[in-house]
Amino acid sequence: MQNVEPMTPRSTTGRANQKLRTRNAILQAAAELMRTGREVTMLEVAKAALVSEATAYRHFPDLASLLQEALAGQMPTPAEALQDVADSPDPVERIAAATEHLMRTVLAYQGATRAMIAATITRPETATARPGLRFGLIDHALTPLDDTLGATDPAALAQLKRDLGVVVSAEALFCLTDLYQLDPEDAIASAVHTAKTLTRAALHSNDPADGSAAGRR
């Protein structure tokens, strides 16, 4: 019977380092492909990383988890993204900036975004793998309402955020570009218009001077 020499600490460390290098190569390849805006698949990522598709899957269970990790750290924080309206107390102006930022980010990472949406539609349990950039942007954009609408009618503010979550989204953009066949710039303008309209309507419905039922509560 052939004797098998025990693995030495040096060989163990070398193998661990190789695995880490391979993993980082896959992540880097994914990040570079994402920035092109083209379709992203595990096979294309593996080719770019000079590894087999099977190897890529050994490091990442699915494409969504790979893309999530590759995206981490590449996106600005909500405060950074909305720097141009940092001094504005107007939630309508701020939500317009948030909507435009998200839509342009989606266009820049269109292939990866579509891949992640597709993955979460076929496997809803993986939905948490999506970065959910919209939520942080919406929360930050509506910060001026925390002490006004949020204090007087927190349920209304929560409803507004849910409504905006439908509009300030990749799904909304793709609906406008794919189904309505709008030019991307027109699609962005439409989404911004809708987000502003929703926000303005929520403010008016809770304004006592507006005379609405909500304002008379």
Sorted by sequence, the CB contacts under 8 Å of residue 151 that are 6+ apart come out as none
Rounded Cα distance, 187 and 174, in Å: 9
- Delimit the CATH 1.10.10 region(s) of the chain: 9-71
The pLDDT of residue 84 is above 50: yes
Q: CA separation (Å) from 15 to 18, 51, 54, 114?
A: 5, 16, 18, 35
How large is the average pLDDT for residues 129-136? 86
pLDDT band of residue 99 (cuts 50, 70, 90) is: very high
Q: Both tokens of residue 101?
A: 């930022």
Q: What is the pLDDT of residues 40-69, one digit of tens each?
A: 999 999 999 999 999 999 999 989 889 989
Q: What is the mean pLDDT of residues 26-48?
A: 93
pLDDT of residue 9: 65
CATH class name, domain 9-71 = mainly alpha
Q: What is the DSSP letter of 28?
A: H
Residue 139 has pLDDT above 90, yes or no: yes
216 pLDDT tier (thresholds 50, 70, 90): very low
> What sign does the CA torsion over 49, 51, 57, 58 have?
negative
**Residue 90 zone, left/alpha/beta (φ > 0; ψ -120 to 50; rest):** beta
**pLDDT tens-digit series, residues 145-164:** 999 999 999 999 999 999 99
What pLDDT does 16 receive?
Answer: 82
Residue 10: the pLDDT is 64
| pLDDT confidence tier of residue 89, bands split at 50, 70 and 90 | very high
Q: How confident is the model at residue 73 (pLDDT cuts 50, 70, 90)?
A: confident
